[in-house]
Chain A
């Protein structure tokens, strides 16, 4: 790596005022940023290390639910009792992700802010809509792991496992910055993750100097009927090729379901049409059939990733079976 300076702010204010541009990115766990620096696709003069700022490493109960400090490691989130009991889909998806080593290092804040895995973006020398150029190499190239929905401008998929689950729970992201005198603002998850149409150069709604300080999960959306299913080539370290998160009767409320697809679009894809199908009937074979018929609607498969549609159908069926309490493997 090209040597860089490391700033060690001890407060949000300091951190925020240091981070003015992509040349001074934040670093948390470092598992994503260091890899990109080694590939010369990030070339910072200085990194702003968030890990010595207090107040960001706890999981606490609030009036509204659970507040996960942005610097809590993935493993600490997944093994936390409040999360396992209150928001089990989150614990499940994190447990599937990456490796034990990475889960011990990576933070939840870093996880939701991580850059796409697109192999064009991660190799030096490919400019595209995301990094100062235009166009998308994957659309007419090697796109087997890329998006089947919303892929007109850019075919990336949101790599964070947490993202679709956060959207399903109606969670939000707490953001602070020194501009606006450190006022905390909360951005709902479904507004936090951006599509390329909204802004191809960003994946999340953060402006320079803004810091994710916490992830918030609302107690009112808890449910004991949940399903997180994904499919991938390897069961050891690998990325999901498709995932389906279903929360049934959030907060015990009839008809309040969430269906969010992951790894198939640039931002987590909430499917209200599928939610309506679930709300309209029972968790049975007819429901599965109707969902499977609809789930591929709107998909624009590229040359190599059409398989994600039947894969989603399969994952959807597993989700419904799990929710209905069927003994069969989910």
Chain B
């Protein structure tokens, strides 16, 4: 039975009523006038004590009896065919218990990048596994390689792919009806090409009519995820059943790959455990070859195998954020309204072509858009979704175009310019908060002859993560008053464990200390991957519902024993109370002791659909202040103000940490991180954590987080995810701040001292100035 109710949605001074039809069994989201005891409080994580004492056990730490060690042999060649793999000598080495080859296991004889898996071995000790790995004899047919998009796009470049695959492939607009592996369906393709030509003409004309056209060509580099705990799993077979302690951000996804794609074990006979995960950032959705390899090596050996990547394997093969080359033209009128935007972009996701797009055509009202994207194949490790895939790189380009456009029309203030082209109700407020807190209007030393220059830049975030169906939570209230909430998904450091318990505690009317969470076990109810920033929005409504109905069952027991009316009862502050607020004379524990059974267990699924809500999207604005040493080109980000909204905040402390984490990765992306490939042998030269530069403590800016609480109304907890939004704007804000500081724009990230010095030296070049109207890309 669907209940129609009217709720208040909004934030700050902007509330409005919204009528929603509650889905079967769902409950109304908390309202502004409802006092909350747990939700909205800064609460320490439930797993914080385990982590600070080093007692939290990650996959890397698992030590089942008889554990042996797996190693993967990787191709040293930029591009090769595997003609043969001879395991004979390796198998004969001391301690070796199992071995396999990639061609046999995965039916794939290609080694398309340096670091591609070729074979694997498991032995009693790591040293024995290393020695045996080095005794594997491989016959490679070495081919030519391209390891940068420029090399791959060049005239006469060697073919990266196989068969008919071209190095450069248009990925958007898509040609419908294109079959996998084929480059195109000629007729459908011709239609798309014609459509593209029309569109280009249309937008060309719009730009030609605009009062001002700005043009820019931006580059961003490949960023690896670099989680501190590498990929992999400890795999163990017991009586034909597989148990994997996996470092994963998708326990059910990991299991799914082992059971369906690979097919040697049924889902009911495969258990994935993931109590603690040392980071994922989007790279750990799948079991990967290493997961399958671990399981197979363990099966043959008859003992558990620890198959976890070393740092080099992690850096080369476990995913990355594609690079980008984005060429843009934007037309704007004197009144500050954007008329149109033309985008051509390229990026490499490795030897494939999909997934290298950049989100550079959203957030603002951009008028008419003509966008074409190309994937460029390279012989490099393949891309995987990386925290806000496509967005940080897209923003680096779009937000700099916004600043350039603002400057081109009599120097309209960049914030004012954005406001004129932005109708997001939440972000409208966030600009002002960011402006004030970064000291936007404070005088700064810019450009010229000063040795240290200072500047500020701004950029926006956008996300859409209210969560969805497909998850269930189980709440267990024991007779002794212990409460546990269970879900099979994982907590990769986002605080999932804690927010689930907080929501359950709030709904049950008991303090957080009385609730524990059990997660990371596929034997427990279905849960989502930690991806798309959807976890919290997916799990917490399920948690709340399960708690709600568990409470109802408990109160039914109480009512029955005491002869009370169950509709008159509730629980608040661990006491049973009546609707008039009076205490019923029974504690929560006392109520639990009235059960006949050991426990009440309620399993509830999250409702499938979301309600209309206040806003489908999270907004967000970030402002960065930088100092640039004009003599050495060194950039220091002094401060980032990050204004963020994420629906109704459950735990502002963990939400703040999510924002700080995103900002830090964004600054690192802006200044330091890039994959460096050797053109000679096609190998990744910085497959470590020294030459691959991750921001450290001394580089860390002061981060000022302002969280805007929004009664969003899209689900019964009305929370939105906050994992990805905070990384979208940061690098763009930093890039704008650098341009503000030195008076010259650096068109490539990371903004290294080299790039700053080169930009200042080439200040005379035309790219730095707005182009003539109508000029072609």
Q: Do A and B bind each other?
A: yes
- Judge whether A310 is part of the interface by a CB distance below 8 angstroms: yes
Nearest residue in A to B683 (C-beta to C-beta)?
A: A123
Query: Taking the complex as formed, is B31 at the interface, i.e. its CB lies under 8 A from any CB of chain A?
Result: no
Q: How far is the CB of A99 from chain B (nearest CB, A)?
A: 9
Q: What separation, in Å, do the CA atoms of A313 and B631 have in the docked complex?
A: 7
Q: What CA separation (Å) do A238 and B127 show in the bound complex?
A: 30
Q: How far is the CA of A2 from the CA of B125 in the complex (A)?
A: 11
Bound CA span A2–B76, Å: 20
Q: A142-B678, A310-B761, A329-B452 are in contact. Are A231 and B753 (CB under 8 A)?
A: yes
Chain B residues in 8 Å Cβ range of A231 = 629, 632-634, 753
Q: In the complex, how many angstroms separate the beta carbon of A232 from the nearest chain B beta carbon?
A: 8
Known: A2-B127, A329-B451. A234 touches B631 (CB 8 A): no
In the docked arrangement, what's the CA distance between A3 and B131, Å?
Answer: 10
Complex Cα distance, B129 from A1, in Å, reads 10
Q: Which of B622-669 contact A (CB under 8 A)?
A: 629-634, 636
- Least CB distance from B700 to A in Å reads 8
Assuming the contacts A233-B693, A311-B632, asked whether A120 and B678 have C-beta atoms less than 8 A apart, the reply is yes
Residue B435 interfacial (CB < 8 Å) = no
Knowing A120-B678, A235-B636, A313-B631, say if A307 contacts B757 (CB, 8 Å). yes
- Most chain A beta carbons < 10 A, residue from B632, B671, B676, B685: B632
CA distance A3 to B678 in the complex (A): 30
Given A137-B678, A233-B752, A234-B696, also A314-B685 (CB < 8 A): no
Tell yes or no: A115 within 8 A of B by CB.
no
Contact with A along B216-236 (1 / 0, CB 8 A): 000000000000000000000
CB distance A311 to B753 under 8 Å? yes
Is A180's CB within 8 Å of the partner chain B?
no
Residues in B whose Cβ lies below 8 Å from that of A317 = 451, 631
Question: Does B441 sit within 8 A of A, measured CB to CB?
Answer: no
Are the CB atoms of B693 and A238 closer together than 8 Å? Answer: yes
B633 engages A119 (CB within 8 Å) = no
Are A142 and B631 touching (Cβ within 8 A)?
no
Q: In the bound complex, how far is the Cα of B50 from the Cα of A218, in angstroms?
A: 53
Q: Is the interface of A mostly helix, strand, loop or mixed?
A: loop
Residues of B within 8 A of A238 (CB): 693
The chain B residue sitting closest to A230, CB to CB, is B632
Beta-carbon contact of A125 and B76 below 8 Å = yes
Residue of A nearest to B310 (CB): A38
Contact of B130 among A2, A140, A141, A313 (CB under 8 A): A2
In B737-777, the 8 Å CB interface with A consists of: 750, 752-754, 757-758, 761
B13 within 8 A of A: no
Minimum CB distance partner of A309 in chain B = B757
B76, B631, B757, B758: the one within 8 Å of A318 (CB)? B631
Report the separation of the CA atoms of residues A10 and B588 in the bound assembly, to the nearest whole angstrom.
70
How many angstroms between the C-alpha atoms of A3 and B95 in the bound complex? Answer: 15
Cα A315 to Cα B629 with chains together (Å): 10
Beyond A233-B672, A234-B696, A235-B699, is A142–B752 a contact (Cβ under 8 Å)?
no
Cβ of A232: which chain B residues have Cβ within 8 Å of it? 634, 753
Residues of chain A from 292 to 307 with CB closer than 8 A to chain B in the complex: 304, 307
Docked complex Cα distance between A238 and B690 (Å): 7
CB distance from A25 to the nearest CB of B (A): 19
- What are 9 A-to-B residue pairs whose CB atoms are below 8 Å? A1-B127, A119-B685, A137-B680, A235-B698, A236-B696, A236-B699, A313-B631, A315-B631, A329-B451
Residues of A within 8 A of B (CB): 1-3, 119-120, 123-126, 137, 140-142, 144, 231-238, 241, 304, 307, 310-311, 313-315, 317-318, 328-329
